[in-house]
Structure 1
């Protein structure tokens, strides 16, 4: 983050849904403390912990959320908004941007 920008933080309590499958997505989340479960149709796809990012796919391809994210424990996150994410992506090498789009498309296709 650039100097002077305020980081938006949020706490989700154990059992609280962060977002649901099919929701529109305008932010990603970076876990500072705690654990988050990612699931689709009730099947657990991943358990994420401190330092891991989630919710970014909706920012890459503007598609609805492909899974549900739920706090397993009390979770503290830093929120990465769409504008901030896009600024960082715009600075990336075009090859990396293209690769990221391919990865997101492939992941979505695999989970359909």
Structure 2
């Protein structure tokens, strides 16, 4: 995800073992990993391991539903925080077909994990 040049970006560090968010939390931001490793899990089952350059937490911004999984730092992790407004602005500028496809993917993923 390319970020706007000249825009001040909020950064945050999560320490190993710290939760970024928990399943069921409301979501108002997504995270872009700058360094470190994040584990995504649901009901104690590991779904994915994410590293530098990967985005997570975006589904709650796409469909305004609670977090479907827990994100936990496996190592010390630095992230760029992408707020709801910035995410929505970028999404609004994308092709309507891609927006529709993204909504379908998010809905299908949520249905599969229920």
Smaller-chain TM-score range?
over 0.9
| Match runs of 1:39-78 below 5 Å | 39-78=41-80
> Which consecutive residues of structure 2, in runs of 5 or more, have no partner in the other structure?
none
**2: distance between equivalents of 1:72 and 1:18?**
11
Q: 2:40 aligns with which of 7, 25, 38?
A: 38
Gaps of 5+ in 1: none
**What is the TM-score of this pair, normalised by structure 2?**
0.97
Counterpart for residue 6 of structure 2? 4
SS of 2:8's equivalent in the other structure is: coil
For 1:56 and 1:29, how far apart are their aligned partners in 2?
A: 8
Partner-residue secondary structure (3-state), 1:76: strand
Tell me by how many angstroms 1:4 deviates.
2.5
Q: Structure 1 residue runs of 4+, over 6 Å off?
A: none
2 CA distance for matches of 1:54 and 1:93?
Answer: 21
> 1:22-77 deviations in whole A, cap 9, x for unaligned?
00000000000000000000000000001100000000000000000000000000
Residue 94 (structure 1) aligns with: 96
RMSD of aligned residue pairs (Cα, Å): 0.6
Deviation at 1:5, TM superposition (A): 1.1
